[in-house]
A and B are shown apart, each in its own frame.
Chain A
Amino acid sequence: MIVDLLERGGDLREEADVCVIGSGAGGAVVAAVLAEAGLSVVVLEQGQHHTRADFDQREETMLPRLFEEAGMRQTEDGSVTILQGRGIGGSTVHNLCYCFRAPPPVLRLWRERHGLPELTDEALAPSFERVEHGLGVVPIREDEVNALNRLVRRGAEKLGYSGFVAKHNRRGCVQSGYCLLGCSYDAKLSMLITYVPRADAAGARIYASVRARRIEADARGAHRVHAEVVDPTGTALGLVRVRSRVVVLAAGAIATPILLKESGLAGESGQVGRNLHLHPAVMAAGIFEEPFAPYRGIPQSYYIDEFIDLDRDPESGVILMPIAGFPGLTAANLPGFGREHFRFLRAFDRTAGLLALLHDRSAGEVEPGPSPARPRIRYRLDADDARALAEGLVHCAEVLMAAGAREVLIPYFDAPLVVRSTAELAEIRRRGVRQGAIPIASTHPQSTCRMGGDPATAVVDAFGECFHVPRLFVADMSVFPTSLGAPPQITTAALADRTAHHILARREELFAGS
């Protein structure tokens, strides 16, 4: 049963074995696994329930439907835009489907430095296998690599850089290119059409347009969730109360710590809301002579890993990945206005975007803001990370020029830089990456309720349960002890699967008498 309470109206009281807050890569998996095991499950999702019929491939309608703050969530200083999903299926509805397991060197780091000896490759393998099967993860075929990605690969191969065509979770893809705006063909195997229907079929009660406001706990643990029915602008229209034996918090790395803080829970370590990593990314735009419709086809398939060596350093590195947008998004990311701006935008169908995405050590924090929908997010790149991002931009420009770009734009806000030869790359290093001087974006906020072995330095244990609040679990990207250094969808889902199976293993204890 999936009910949008905005349409139904009124207040709601529910009882269940498990209340899951959030329906994205973590929450949907937990809900499906537990419901299929026979537990009664209620899911609360702040956003609405949109399906393929709603996905009209237009920016002006889809961005507000699928993104928190209509795609304009930012750090407090405005320097980093954070694109985060909302609605049933969460960020998996708009993501671009790169599928990677957690890199083994990063798992080793988590085991050795964060007191998590349980997180071995072998121990996690069953969870990875289950979610990869559940999401239909397969290699992207050669014939599915679009013109944009072929260009980028050409440049990387010419330079001898390491790269490969990744895996994805699509089936029957028609290669329209509108993945970012929701798949109109249900070819993207997001949570919306995989785990959410499984949870639904197993009897989970899934409520959309419900924002959790407070989790209630006593000495025995979490047992009640207070929430409200909200419209898309955040106006509260009704009250929801769910009594449950277990609460699973999977609202994402921004909302999850805020809910814990506003509930006054799990704060003993002082780490709730801290250690925010963003995988911040900057873009170079290569302008080519001939049109190639970069916005058509699978947006991201090729992946350049030349500049990340996790065996050598599991805490840093830069990944390069192609990116294309639509007119409004692209215009907003190009510098200047009027004719200066149009000089770049007129090359829309001849422009290849290449992102440098940072595996960041820099850490920010999240706090409740002036309203529930507007959290306070702070993040500063440290000097090493800023240098690494700048170097990543240099490599983006190199690759694009090797691919045949006539010129490469580095979109500094005040003085855009156009590079036409390798001799000019030094100017990128000279200007560097300064927050506020160049667009920086994030789609992977993480680590704000980090997992660890020590209750003094971590918020949750190796299975996602809060150290100081029994029966309260976290199952989203908040739990990553460090930046992941790879696209996070599969790792988020696998850790959530592991948490769900752990809950089932403790079924007698947690649900006695249920």
Chain B
Amino acid sequence: MSAGKSATKQGLGAPAGMASGPPPLRRRDFLRLLSSGPALSSLARLRAVPAPAPTDAATGTFFSEREREILAAVVERMVDTGEPSAPAVRETGTLATIDRLVGSLDAEVSSPLRPLLLLLEWAPPLFDLRFSRFTALGPAEQDAHLEGWRRSRLGFRRRAFYALRNLAFLGYWTQEETWPLIGYAGPLLRAGPPPGAGAPP
């Protein structure tokens, strides 16, 4: 059986030399992703983090270790500022914030994200005929690849791009250590409620 046939039957397998990458995208995941337009559309405006609801028995997190690796690579490109003082994504609570958010959403919204990350990881050979995983590309190549999602003629790719983009923004820009970059002074509550705050009429 050829590698290609195997991929058709069991999922989109890794090109030669990439066996140590993330798990392959299964056909059913891909189909699920393609049929998840409305959910991804909603994620494209994602702005919130409800209480956590762990789903991975081994780690207590929504995303597996490998999925987090892909997510981290995506977030790094989405929030690249070019500023030397910008905190690195992995040095902040960004991924944990995103994980808490996604793990607690309605399953109809969150379920496409795992296959989406896997699709993105294997998308360079699928969409660009570039035989490399996303996480193995250099930053400029990753940006070019993401730009392809942003401007794709396929609606689901554009919606998926904005879902991941806004997840990244919400995860990163709510971290206090990023606020000096944009001049945000943060909540006032740290000083405690002021005296004489309002009362009902």
* B200 with A193: CB separation less than 8 A: yes
Query: Quick one: given A173-B198, A184-B189, are A291 and B183 in contact (CB under 8 Å)?
Result: yes
Interface string of B108-133 (1 = CB under 8 A from A): 11000000000000000000000000
* B169 with A328: CB separation less than 8 A: yes
* A78 with B194: CB separation less than 8 A: no
* B106 with A78: CB separation less than 8 A: no
Using CB atoms, name the residue of chain B closest to A62: B48
Residues of A within 8 A of B49 (CB): 60-61, 63-64, 70
* B194 with A185: CB separation less than 8 A: yes
* B80 with A342: CB separation less than 8 A: yes
* B198 with A170: CB separation less than 8 A: yes
Residues of A within 8 A of B64 (CB): none
A507: CB under 8 A from chain B? Answer: no
Residues of B within 8 A of A172 (CB): 196-199
Shortest Cβ gap from A94 to chain B (Å):
12
Once the chains are docked, how many angstroms separate the CA of A76 from the CA of B37? 9
Query: Quick one: given A173-B198, A329-B47, A337-B78, are A293 and B185 in contact (CB under 8 Å)?
Result: yes
Among B78, B159, B185, B189, the one with the most A-chain Cβ atoms within 10 Å of its Cβ is B189
Using CB atoms, name the residue of chain B closest to A190: B200
Shortest Cβ gap from B110 to chain A (Å):
10
* B183 with A134: CB separation less than 8 A: no
Query: Quick one: given A60-B101, A178-B188, A331-B173, are A337 and B165 in contact (CB under 8 Å)?
Result: yes
B119-153 contacts to A, CB under 8 A, are 143, 146, 150-151
Shortest Cβ gap from A74 to chain B (Å):
5
Once the chains are docked, how many angstroms separate the CA of A194 from the CA of B199? 9
Using CB atoms, name the residue of chain B closest to A70: B48
Q: Which of B159, B182, B200 interacts with A78 by CB under 8 Å?
A: B159
Q: Which of A77, A176, A185, A233 interacts with B106 by CB under 8 Å?
A: A233
Interface string of B32-74 (1 = CB under 8 A from A): 0000001001111111111101000000000000000000000
A268-288 contacts to B, CB under 8 A, are none
A218: CB under 8 A from chain B? Answer: no
Shortest Cβ gap from A501 to chain B (Å):
20
Interface residues on A, range: 35 or more
Shortest Cβ gap from A211 to chain B (Å):
13
From A51-59, A104-112, A482-490, give the one contacting chain B.
Answer: A51-59
A136: CB under 8 A from chain B? Answer: yes
* B108 with A370: CB separation less than 8 A: yes
Interface string of B169-201 (1 = CB under 8 A from A): 110011000110111110111000110111111
Residues of chain B having any CB pair with chain A under 8 Å: 38, 41-51, 53, 77-83, 97, 101, 104-109, 143, 146, 150-151, 159, 162, 165-166, 168-170, 173-174, 178-179, 181-185, 187-189, 193-194, 196-201
Residues of chain A having any CB pair with chain B under 8 Å: 52, 56-61, 63-65, 67, 69-74, 76-78, 81, 133-136, 170-174, 176-178, 183-189, 193-194, 197, 232-234, 291, 293, 295-296, 326-332, 337-339, 341-342, 345-350, 370-371, 373-374, 413-414
Closest 4 CB pairs of A and B: A187-B198, A78-B41, A172-B198, A349-B183
